[in-house]
Homo-oligomer: A and B are copies of this chain.
């Protein structure tokens, strides 16, 4: 998420204003959590007055819900850039893992929003529903790759794409989401090099798993 000051507010443009608020809200909530977020800071970040925010969204919870939804929308958008069709199955898996790791690494605000929403018991995501907008595109890609791999006799055929995607996500999410405790507790150097190695090892692990007989 680019945090450089939003370009000078073009006044009297409702849609643009709403978008600026959303952007600021996403920054604020992902950095401070739900209770820690301050509507004042959202207003300042968006370059608008507080009443505008309430005009457009109603109350803090609704701003949060909108920000969470926005997080998913953006991530989904970013995921569309992944194209695995040209790659053979195993290479596709490699690319998938690499992509996922980078995805989380470059969009830590998304990882934060996930953590925050889960800490809240998923109250909001459950209501946002709106599956098509929210569901990861990656799962579809995974499904396609697995099918190709199975067809080529390379992968076992008893793996659910969602379950498998959760493995990928698990391996990529944790080192990013828990960077700080990993550094402090295990003295790990959670930097790009370490994450790249992690990504590579995870890939091997996952491919090994896929190659195993059921």
CB distance from A213 to the nearest CB of B (A): 11
Which of A1-9, A43-51, A81-89, A176-184 participates in binding chain B? Answer: A176-184
| Complex copy number for this chain | 4
In the complex, the answer to whether A188 meets B166 with C-beta atoms within 8 Å is: yes
In the complex, the answer to whether A205 meets B126 with C-beta atoms within 8 Å is: no
Q: Count residues of chain A with CB under 8 A from any CB of chain B.
A: 55
In the complex, the answer to whether B125 meets A119 with C-beta atoms within 8 Å is: no
8 A Cβ contacts from A180-214 to B? 180-186, 188, 198, 201-202, 204-206, 208-209, 212
Enumerate chain A interface residues (CB-CB to B < 8 A). Answer: 32-36, 112, 114-122, 125-126, 128-129, 131, 134-136, 139, 162-163, 165-167, 169-171, 173-175, 177-186, 188, 198, 201-202, 204-206, 208-209, 212
11 sampled A-B residue pairs with Cβ under 8 A? A117-B181, A118-B180, A119-B119, A121-B180, A122-B184, A126-B183, A128-B184, A136-B185, A169-B174, A170-B171, A177-B177
